[in-house]
Amino acid sequence: MIKRSTLARMVRDIGFSCTRCGVCCKGTDNLVMVSPQEVCRLAEETGLESGDIATPYPEFVETRGGGSITFEWAVRKHGEACRFYSGGLCTAYAARPWICRTFPFMLDNEHLIVSHCPGIGGKISRKEAWDLAGLLLERRRAELTEEERVRQVLSVCRIPPGCQVLVDGTGLKVL
Weakest mean pLDDT among 78-82, 117-121, 170-174: 78-82
Phi, psi of 49 (to 5 degrees): -75, 155
Cα 59 to Cα 55, 78, 86: the distances in Å are 11, 19, 26
Domain boundaries, the chain: 4-174
Where are the alpha helices (H) located in 22-125, listed in sequence order? Answer: 36-46, 50-53, 98-102
CA distance linking residue 89 with residue 36, whole number of Å: 23
Q: Is 73 helix (H, G, I), strand (E, B) or coil?
A: strand
Q: What is the pLDDT of residues 82-113, one digit of tens each?
A: 999 999 999 999 999 999 999 999 999 999 99
Residue 28, pLDDT > 90, answer no
What lies within 8 Å, CB to CB, of 55 at 6+ separation is: 73, 74, 76
Q: What is the pLDDT of residues 66-76, one digit of tens each?
A: 999 999 999 99
Torsion of CA 97, 98, 102, 107, to 10 degrees: -150
Q: Are the CB atoms for 32 and 100 separated by under 8 Å?
A: yes
